[in-house]
Amino acid sequence: MKLLTYINKNLIFFGFLLLFSTNYTSACEIEIKVDGEQKEEYKIGDEIVIHVRVEFTHRVCPEGIKKTKFDTKGFKILKGTPWKETSTGVWERKLKVQVTKSKKGKLLLSATRTCEKDGGFGEITLHAATE
């Protein structure tokens, strides 16, 4: 009888621990970084290759990978490679961007995914030379 009480208490404890220890996760993890070596600062006209990686946390997403939206501040997207699924639920592509201008020396590229499973967001901020 004591053994059963001990087991029930432990099951309840671990149940609550599992319930309250789950962190909020978005449906997509988005990682954005400079492909190659990142400079301290960039000048107008500089071209940069950006690597974008999207992982579907929920594995099945009702929105296709092409629904990923990019927003830029201080950049112009020149071209991009097609999305490539590098492993199950993991998509990657490269974007070639050009520095056009900067506000307060900041350049920003963000990626957003919106869907019924919370979507996802990722961004990179780089520094521009102030003239």
How confident is the model at residue 41, as a pLDDT?
Answer: 93
Q: Which domain holds residue 120?
A: 25-127
- 18 belongs to a structural domain: no
- 13 belongs to a structural domain: no
- 15 belongs to a structural domain: no
Asked if the model's pLDDT at residue 16 lies above 70, the reply is no
Q: What is the mean pLDDT of the chain?
A: 84
Structurally, the chain folds into a number of domains equal to 1
Number of Cβ atoms within 10 Å of the Cβ of 23: 4
What's the whole-number mean pLDDT along residues 15-36? Answer: 67
Asked if the model's pLDDT at residue 20 lies above 50, the reply is no
Interval 58-106: pLDDT, tens: 767 778 899 999 999 999 999 999 999 999 989 999 999 999 987 788 9
**Cβ proximity of 55 and 90 under 8 Å:** yes
**Cβ proximity of 76 and 84 under 8 Å:** no
- 33 belongs to a structural domain: yes
88 versus 20: the higher-pLDDT residue is: 88
Question: Of 46, 49, 63, 30, which Cα lies nearest the Cα of 100?
Answer: 46
The pTM assigned to this predicted structure is 0.76
Asked if the model's pLDDT at residue 1 lies above 70, the reply is no
With tokens 């970084």, the residue in question is: 33
Q: Tell me, what CATH number does 89's domain have? A: 2.60.40.680
123 versus 59: the higher-pLDDT residue is: 123
How confident is the model at residue 12, as a pLDDT?
Answer: 62
- 121 belongs to a structural domain: yes
- 55 belongs to a structural domain: yes
- 32 belongs to a structural domain: yes
